């Protein structure tokens, strides 16, 4: 299984934007800070496992389901 790293590309007081570093993928998700929630903006490569972290926020194997 492919493993893609995601990096923080932007944030505000409530949410953090993570993007996949794989050019062929383009997955983008928004994570809520105050409460755990994930909003998938772009699915990217669904078969890949996505991991990333920023500050106290960690994501691992985020699925669109
Ligand atoms: Zn990816």
More confidently predicted of 11 and 58: 11
Distance 30 CA to ligand 1 centre (A): 14
Structural domain including 23 reads: 3-60
Q: Say yes or no to pLDDT of 63 above 90.
A: no
Asked if 46 and 64 touch (Cβ cutoff 8 Å), the reply is: yes
For residue 62, the SS3 value is coil
Q: First and final CA of the chain: distance in angstroms?
A: 18
Domain count, the chain: 1
From 1-5, 20-24, 51-55, the region with the lowest mean pLDDT? 51-55
Evaluated on CA atoms 44, 47, 53, 57, the torsion sign reads: positive
Instruction: Between 57 and 52, name the one with better pLDDT.
Output: 52
Distance 20 CA to ligand 1 centre (A): 5
Global confidence as pTM: 0.79
In a domain, 65, yes or no: no
Give 53 Cα–ligand 1 centroid separation in angstroms: 14
- pLDDT tens across 6-52, in order? 999 999 999 999 999 999 999 999 988 888 788 999 999 989 999 98
Residue 28 Cα to ligand 1 midpoint, Å, equals 8
């Amino acid at each position: 299984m492919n493993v893609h790293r995601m990096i923080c590309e932007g944030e505000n007081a409530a949410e953090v934007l993570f993007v996949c570093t794989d050019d062929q993928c383009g997955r983008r998700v928004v994570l809520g800070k105050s409460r755990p929630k994930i909003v998938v903006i772009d699915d990217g490569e669904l078969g890949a496992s996505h991991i990333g972290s920023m500050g106290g926020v960690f994501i691992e194997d985020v699925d669109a389901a």
